[in-house]
Amino acid sequence: MYTLLKKEKRARRGRFETPHGTIETPVFMNVGTLGVIKGAVSSMDLKEIGCQVELSNTYHLHLRPGDKLVNKMGGLHRFMNWDGPILTDSGGFQVFSLAKIRKIKEEGVYFSSHIDGSRIFMGPEESMRIQSHLGSTIAMAFDECIELPAEREYVERSVERTTRWLVRSKNEIDRLNAQENTINKKQMLFGINQGGTYEDIRIRHAKEIAKMDLDGYAIGGLAVGETHEEMYRTLDAVVPHLPEDKPIYLMGVGTPENILESVERGVDFFDCVLPARNGRHGHVFTARGKINLNNKRFEMDEKPIDEGCQCPACRHYTRGYIRHLFKAKEMLALRLCVLHNLYFYNKLMEDIRRAIDEDRFHEFKAQKLADWSRGQEPHIEK
């Protein structure tokens, strides 16, 4: 259940109660595709870096190790040893971005596995069954994620089908939650708003799904190639038409700047592979913008990645040491940078929440954007 604690213009400070604990919003979900965060980060580490919600991928876990195996092992929480909230996506996005040779029909999608090419069918019922097997806290409805740019006519037909799939998703999850051997009988369902960058289609769809009294509402199909301005314009248009008493989740977004802009537009939930992926390449976030630790200027830098940061990497190691680890192709380099970047995101959300609590989110946002664009102080050689 979502409680709106405070609003500052459209920015929302809320609290979302789930069967696996309370989520303070706005929140950034830490992405662990296969039930693990890439970069040798464990569920124990997630607790240390301030993660509130872990996100795993239905499509990936269905293929490997298989949702039935995870189910037999007691569900995803027990499998990965994480007792906090887990959100699973529906597989919709992955089917459209990863799978080969796909065919979309009214019943669902026929496609080939990106691992071994084997033929698979997934529709709303299949997606819900997999997510129920995994026992995640929040399941996502099965939708079609439309590639942009897209013809208006195609988008209209697709969005209508996504609405029909949402009804089927809801019916199936209700049925599964009522079954005896379901791991999480209180599994929640978020619907997904689609419509590309056509504001009128987005709004019509938002109004339609808002009637369904779901546990939350996601905005999907953004951050897939459109400009940031189109994304913000779409948020401006659609967010006011989603229920105010439910959390709003912007899927797959984004940079720290994107997050500030989207919180300002009323978004509560975020997820993105960006901090972990950046970290694995030595690109790390600091109070003064992103830096690339592979750069020679950090060779003898005795400062932590980000001065004042309390993450495990910054408390114990210097930029010079971590740069050495990258050059030597040592895995610890990746681990430290992923831990740092996820901590940076989780801490950013905490700071955002406090700023809204204290009615100073807009100043906070302006200050952060200015700080991040300042860049690093010049490095003084000893």
Contact positions toward a copy of itself, by CB under 8 A?
34-44, 64-65, 69, 72-74, 79-81, 299-300, 302, 312, 316-318, 320-321, 324-325, 327-328, 330-332, 334-336, 382
Options 67, 215, 271, 306, the catalytic residue: 271
The closest of 324, 272, 334, 274 to 296, measured between CA atoms, is 324
Q: How far is the CB of 283 from a copy of itself (least distance, A)?
A: 18
Q: How far is the CB of 60 from a copy of itself (least distance, A)?
A: 8
Nearer to a copy of itself, 14 or 35 (CB): 35
Angle subtended at Cα 131 by Cα 125 and Cα 132, rounded to the nearest 5 degrees:
85
Check the annotation: does 221 bind a ligand: yes
Check the annotation: does 311 bind a ligand: yes
Check the annotation: does 116 bind a ligand: no
Nearer to a copy of itself, 41 or 206 (CB): 41
Check the annotation: does 200 bind a ligand: no
Residue with tokens 């037909």: 157
Check the annotation: does 245 bind a ligand: no
Question: SS3 for 139?
Answer: strand
Check the annotation: does 314 bind a ligand: yes
Task: For residues 380 and 297, give the distance between their C-alpha atoms in angstroms, rounded to a whole number.
Answer: 9
The closest of 170, 227, 228, 165 to 194, measured between CA atoms, is 165
**Is-contact 53 59, C-beta < 8 A?**
no
Q: How far is the CB of 308 from a copy of itself (least distance, A)?
A: 18
Check the annotation: does 92 bind a ligand: yes
Nearer to a copy of itself, 81 or 367 (CB): 81
Nearer to a copy of itself, 86 or 145 (CB): 86
Q: Is 215 a catalytic residue?
A: no
Q: Is 351 a catalytic residue?
A: no
Q: How far is the CB of 59 from a copy of itself (least distance, A)?
A: 13
Nearer to a copy of itself, 79 or 269 (CB): 79
Q: How far is the CB of 190 from a copy of itself (least distance, A)?
A: 26
Task: For residues 15 and 1, give the distance between their C-alpha atoms in angstroms, rounded to a whole number.
Answer: 8
Options 89, 215, 301, 306, the catalytic residue: 89
Give me the amino acid identity at 37: I
Question: SS3 for 10?
Answer: coil
Burial pattern 360-372, b for ≥16 Cβ within 10 A else e, equals: ebeebbeebeeeb
Helices marked H in 178-227 — which ranges? 199-210
Check the annotation: does 89 bind a ligand: yes
Q: How far is the CB of 183 from a copy of itself (least distance, A)?
A: 15
The closest of 144, 182, 188 to 164, measured between CA atoms, is 144
**Is-contact 284 305, C-beta < 8 A?**
yes
Provide the CB-side half-sphere exposure for 86 (13 A, CA).
Answer: 28
Please list, in sequence order, all residues whose beta carbon lies within 8 angstroms of the beta carbon of residue 77, skipping any fewer than 6 positions away.
Answer: 20, 83, 86, 135
The closest of 18, 44, 215 to 136, measured between CA atoms, is 18
Question: SS3 for 12?
Answer: strand
Nearer to a copy of itself, 106 or 116 (CB): 116
| End-to-end alpha carbon distance in the chain | 56
For the annotated binding site for Zn(2+), the residues are 309, 311, 314, 340
What are the catalytic residues? 89, 271
For the annotated binding site, the residues are 89-93, 143, 194, 221, 309, 311, 314, 340
For the annotated binding site for substrate, the residues are 89-93, 143, 194, 221
